[in-house]
Homo-oligomer: A and B are copies of this chain.
Amino acid sequence: MKKVTLTLILAYAALSGLVAQQPPADGPRFTNGTSLLRPTNYREWPFIGSSLGLAYTQVSDARQAAPPFANVFVNPSSYRAFMQTGKWPDGTILILEVRRSSSDGALIKGGRYQTPEILVLEAQVKDSRLPDGWAFFSWGPGRALKDVADPAPSTATGNGEATCVECHTKHAAVERTFVQYYPTLLEVARQKGTLNPGF
């Protein structure tokens, strides 16, 4: 009888969304409440897009020599949720991995490929505890990656540069994410009608 009762409770919790509202097991892991641990297995997460010469600020030195590639990955359960709904669940973590590019020895002249040198590693997290609902983190340059990153400031620091939140609020295609650069996700967002106004 106890077993039947527990089964009914779990079934009700699942149907009413109580279970789904738990943070995902593959989502962001914090220490001290808001400092984000660097995931070590993100290269096994779904890849959602790559660009060349589109990464910003922190890689300006490297860009003078060669435009960097930027690969973006997302935790698997949030990827599956987006593909079904066109929206990000709470606890979504996107990883931005910026790599030096090279054309040395390329089999086609002018072609560029990704090198083992990571220039910078960053994350964007959907976190309902925050006023904006999103936070941005950087584990720093690839030659000295930190294990833990504090959230980037959400308001301007006075150096004239726009903050992550400001730029993502102004230009992102879905919520605060640059889905305009993630081709398979862009098609889902169009189908589901979840593009921000202006897209």
Contact = CB atoms under 8 A, between A and B. Distances in A.
B112 A183 contact: no
Majority-rule SS of A interface residues: mixed
Interface string A92-136: 000000010100011110111111110000000000000000000
In the complex this chain forms, how many copies of it are found?
2
Nearest to A48: B43
A180 to B, nearest CB: 7
A29 interface: no
A27 interface: no
B108 A53 contact: yes
A111 B54 contact: yes
Contact of A112 (B44, B51, B171): B51
Contact of A50 (B50, B55, B115, B186): B50
Nearest to A104: B180
A116 B181 contact: no
Interface of A: 43-44, 46-47, 49-56, 67, 69, 71, 73, 76, 79, 99, 101, 105-108, 110-117, 167, 171, 180-184, 186-187
24 contacts: A43-B47, A43-B184, A47-B47, A49-B114, A50-B50, A50-B114, A51-B112, A52-B52, A53-B108, A53-B110, A53-B111, A53-B112, A54-B108, A54-B111, A54-B112, A54-B113, A55-B108, A67-B110, A99-B183, A107-B167, A113-B180, A114-B182, A116-B183, A116-B184
